[in-house]
């Protein structure tokens, strides 16, 4: 029997289904399950001829799946490679594939959140905010174009890399050598968030006690101290008190309003 090889057309369709539909029918119960299933449809169609074989193969991808969509694209490419191997008679079963998917989705979610959400998006937004100063349309245009181009080609690379590496991608992604990379990325992401907070948040006080300008005193001891205080307050409310971000924003509005009315904050308070 001739060896079955997943066609380039099928891989392109699989990638397209994932990039546009990874959140298809998203719910708290299934998360990205159906988006993943949609991305594997072209793969299964290309590798199997009998309908019963297609149904059996697709049933593998009905189990729960959820990860960071961009970095997680590598898992889709990886399972496409494993499905190709299974179609050629290699000893790969549902348990093996789902074990790899379940084992990778958590670490990749942490890696993706650190790189994409915690580092890359804040950097892009910081640049866009700078370009948008004075009401320039360059800011939003830059972000839309830059994000979509980098996201598309980055995800395409991740898919193809996962497909080419096959099962060897597992060690590269969750092995001991990747731990230092993840720790470094988390550190960089934390520094980026701190830089954004120091640059774009502007909390100042108009308090003057016994002739002492409190804001000037704070600036001399610890510049941006109030910025840090408000960022820490938001973190404490959301992580320790489990208050959702919308309610936290409402709390900040009330604090700002009351603070300005009683003369604690300057009317130019922004965050």
Q: How far apart, in whole angstroms, are the C-alpha atoms of residue 270 and residue 226?
A: 12
Break the chain down into helix, strand, coil percent, rounded to 5: 75, 5, 25
Q: How far apart, in whole angstroms, are the C-alpha atoms of residue 119 and residue 117?
A: 6
Residue 209 pairs with which residues in a beta bridge?
A: 212
Q: What is the pLDDT of residue 115?
A: 80
Q: What is the pLDDT along the chain (271 residues), one digit of tens a residue?
A: 567 888 899 999 999 999 988 888 887 778 888 999 999 999 989 888 888 888 888 888 888 888 888 988 988 898 888 888 888 877 777 777 887 787 778 778 877 887 888 778 888 888 888 888 888 899 899 999 999 999 999 999 989 988 887 655 545 544 555 566 556 655 665 676 677 677 778 888 888 888 888 888 888 998 888 888 988 898 899 888 888 888 998 999 999 889 888 888 876 544 4
Q: What is the largest CA-CA distance in the chain?
A: 92
Q: What is the pLDDT of residue 269?
A: 43
CB neighbours of residue 207 within 10 Å = 15
Indicate the Cα dihedral angle 86, 90, 92, 97, nearest 10°. Answer: -50
Q: How far apart, in whole angstroms, are the C-alpha atoms of residue 150 and residue 153?
A: 5
Indicate the Cα dihedral angle 48, 75, 101, 10, nearest 10°. Answer: -10
Cα dist from 37 to 24, 28, 67, 117, whole Å: 10, 17, 14, 25
Q: What is the pLDDT of residue 270?
A: 46
pTM for the full model? 0.62
Q: What is the pLDDT of residue 16?
A: 92
**Within 13 Å of residue 241, how many CA atoms lie on the same side as its CB?**
12
């Amino acid at each position: 029997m001739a060896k079955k090889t997943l066609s380039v057309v099928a891989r392109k369709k699989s990638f397209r289904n994932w990039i546009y539909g990874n959140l298809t029918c998203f719910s708290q119960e299934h998360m990205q399950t159906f988006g993943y299933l949609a991305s594997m449809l072209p793969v299964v169609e290309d590798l199997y001829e009998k309908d019963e074989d297609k149904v059996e193969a697709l049933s593998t991808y009905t189990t729960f799946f959820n990860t960071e969509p961009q970095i997680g694209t590598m898992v889709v490419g990886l399972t496409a490679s494993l499905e190709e191997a299974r179609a050629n008679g290699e000893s790969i079963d549902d348990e093996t594939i789902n074990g790899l998917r379940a084992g990778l989705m958590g670490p990749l979610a942490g890696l993706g959140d650190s790189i994409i959400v915690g580092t890359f998006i804040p950097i892009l937004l910081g640049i866009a905010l700078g370009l948008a100063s004075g009401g320039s349309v360059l800011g939003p245009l830059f972000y839309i174009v830059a994000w979509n181009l980098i996201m598309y080609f980055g995800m395409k690379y991740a898919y193809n890399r996962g497909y080419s590496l096959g099962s060897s991608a597992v060690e590269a992604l969750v092995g001991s050598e990747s731990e230092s990379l993840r720790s470094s990325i988390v550190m960089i992401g934390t520094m980026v968030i701190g830089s954004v907070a120091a640059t774009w948040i502007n909390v100042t006080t108009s308090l003057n006690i016994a002739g002492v300008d409190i804001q000037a005193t704070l600036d001399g001891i610890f510049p941006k101290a109030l910025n840090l205080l408000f960022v820490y307050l938001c973190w404490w409310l959301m992580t320790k008190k489990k208050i959702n971000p919308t309610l936290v924003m409402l709390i900040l509005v009330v604090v700002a309003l009351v603070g300005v009315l009683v003369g604690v904050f300057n009317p130019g308070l922004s965050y």
